A and B are shown apart, each in its own frame.
Chain A
Amino acid sequence: MRAKAKLYPKEAARLLREKPGVREAVTGATLHFDRNRLKAYAEVPIAEWRERAKAIKDHALSHLDQYLELAEKRLKENGVQVHYAEEPKDAHRLLREIVERRGVKRAVKAKSMLTEELGVNPLLASLGVEVYETDLGEYLIQLLGEPPSHIVGPAIHLSLKEIQTLFHERFGTPLDASPEALAQVARKVLREAFLTAELGISGANFLVAETGTLALMENEGNIRLSTSLPKVHVAFVGIEKLLPRFQDLALFLPLTARAATGQRLSTFVSLIQGPARKGEEGPEEVHVVLVDHGRTALLADPEAWETLRCLRCGACLNACPVYRQTGGHPYGYVYSGPIGAVLDPGLLSLEEAYPLPYASTLCGACLEACPVKIPIPKLLLTWRHRAVAEGLSPAWERAMLAAYRRVMESPALYRLFSKALRGLPLPQDLLPLLRAWTEGRGPLKPSPKPFHQLWREMEEGHGR
Chain B
Amino acid sequence: MDARSRILSRIQRALKDRPKALLPEHPHPPFPEDPIPLLLARLAENGAEPHLLSPEGAQALLRELAQGLPGVAFGQGVPTPFREGLNPLPPEEAPLGVSWALFAVAETGTLALSSADGRRAQLLPPTHLVLVERERVYPTLLQAFQDLKELPIALGLHSGPSKSADIGQVMVKGVHGPGRLIVAVLT
Q: Which residues of A contact B (CB under 8 A)?
A: 28-29, 32, 48, 52, 55-56, 58-59, 61-65, 68-69, 84-86, 90, 134-137, 140, 153-156, 158-161, 163, 179-180, 182-183, 186-187, 190-191, 194-195, 211, 213, 219-222, 224-225, 227-229, 239, 244, 246-251, 253-254, 263-277, 280-282, 290, 292, 296-297, 299-300, 305
Q: Do A264 and B119 contact each other (CB < 8 Å), given the known contacts A28-B169, A55-B22, A58-B21?
A: no
Q: How far is the CA of A227 from the CA of B160 in the complex (A)?
A: 19
- Residue pairs across A and B with Cβ atoms less than 8 A apart, 11 shown, are A64-B15, A183-B175, A229-B120, A251-B142, A263-B159, A265-B159, A266-B159, A272-B153, A273-B152, A292-B3, A297-B10
Nearest CB in chain B to that of A229: its residue: B120
Partner of A84, one of B3, B20, B166: B3
A64 touches B169 (CB 8 A): no
Partner of A296, one of B10, B22, B166: B10
Chain B interface main SS type:
loop
A59 touches B172 (CB 8 A): no
Convert B113-140 into 0s and 1s, putting 1 for each residue whose CB lies closer than 8 angstroms to a CB of A. Answer: 0011011101100000000000000001
A191 touches B176 (CB 8 A): yes
- Kindly list 20 other residue pairs between chains A and B, CB separation below 8 angstroms, not including A86-B3, A183-B175, A300-B13: A55-B23, A68-B8, A84-B7, A136-B166, A155-B166, A183-B174, A191-B176, A220-B164, A220-B177, A222-B177, A225-B176, A264-B42, A267-B159, A267-B162, A271-B151, A271-B155, A272-B154, A274-B153, A281-B120, A300-B14
A28, A135, A229, A268 interface centre (most CB from chain B within 10 Å): A268
Nearest CB in chain B to that of A213: its residue: B151
B110 touches A265 (CB 8 A): yes
B178 to chain A, nearest CB (A): 8
B97 to chain A, nearest CB (A): 12
Q: Which residues of B contact A (CB under 8 A)?
A: 2-4, 6-8, 10-15, 18-24, 26-27, 42, 46, 92, 107-110, 115-116, 118-120, 122-123, 140-142, 144-146, 148, 151-170, 172, 174-178
A211, A247, A266 interface centre (most CB from chain B within 10 Å): A247
Q: How far is the CA of A275 from the CA of B152 in the complex (A)?
A: 11
Q: Do A282 and B176 contact each other (CB < 8 Å), given the known contacts A213-B151, A296-B11?
A: no
Which residues of chain B come closer than 8 Å to A271, judged between CB atoms?
151, 154-157
A250 touches B145 (CB 8 A): yes
Which residues of chain A come closer than 8 Å to B165, judged between CB atoms?
153
Q: How far is the CA of A134 from the CA of B12 in the complex (A)?
A: 38
Nearest CB in chain A to that of B45: its residue: A264
Q: Which 9 residue pairs of A and B lie closest in terms of their CB atoms, listed nearest first?
A: A221-B177, A160-B168, A137-B166, A300-B14, A250-B142, A58-B21, A296-B10, A269-B157, A136-B166
A32 touches B153 (CB 8 A): no
Chain A interface main SS type:
helix
Q: How far is the CA of A69 from the CA of B174 in the complex (A)?
A: 40
B119 touches A228 (CB 8 A): yes
Nearest CB in chain B to that of A155: its residue: B166
Nearest CB in chain B to that of A247: its residue: B145
A76 to chain B, nearest CB (A): 12
B162 touches A65 (CB 8 A): no
Q: How far is the CA of A153 from the CA of B167 in the complex (A)?
A: 10
B153 touches A136 (CB 8 A): no
Which residues of chain B come closer than 8 Å to A246, judged between CB atoms?
145, 148, 151
Which residues of chain A come closer than 8 Å to B13, judged between CB atoms?
300
B11 touches A65 (CB 8 A): yes
Q: How far is the CA of A191 from the CA of B176 in the complex (A)?
A: 7
Q: How far is the CA of A222 from the CA of B156 in the complex (A)?
A: 13
Q: Do A267 and B21 contact each other (CB < 8 Å), given the known contacts A134-B176, A250-B141, A282-B115?
A: no
Which residues of chain A come closer than 8 Å to B120, judged between CB atoms?
228-229, 281
Which residues of chain A come closer than 8 Å to B166, judged between CB atoms?
135-137, 140, 153-155
A281 touches B118 (CB 8 A): yes
Q: How far is the CA of A84 from the CA of B11 in the complex (A)?
A: 13
A222 touches B110 (CB 8 A): no
Q: How far is the CA of A312 from the CA of B105 in the complex (A)?
A: 25
B11 touches A68 (CB 8 A): yes
Which residues of chain B come closer than 8 Å to A63, judged between CB atoms?
15, 20
Which residues of chain B come closer than 8 Å to A290, judged between CB atoms?
7
Q: How far is the CA of A16 from the CA of B79 in the complex (A)?
A: 60
Partner of A275, one of B153, B164, B176: B153
A268 touches B162 (CB 8 A): yes
Which residues of chain A come closer than 8 Å to B14, judged between CB atoms?
296, 299-300, 305
Which residues of chain B come closer than 8 Å to A254, judged between CB atoms?
108, 141
Nearest CB in chain A to that of B169: its residue: A29
Nearest CB in chain B to that of A264: its residue: B108
Nearest CB in chain A to that of B18: its residue: A62
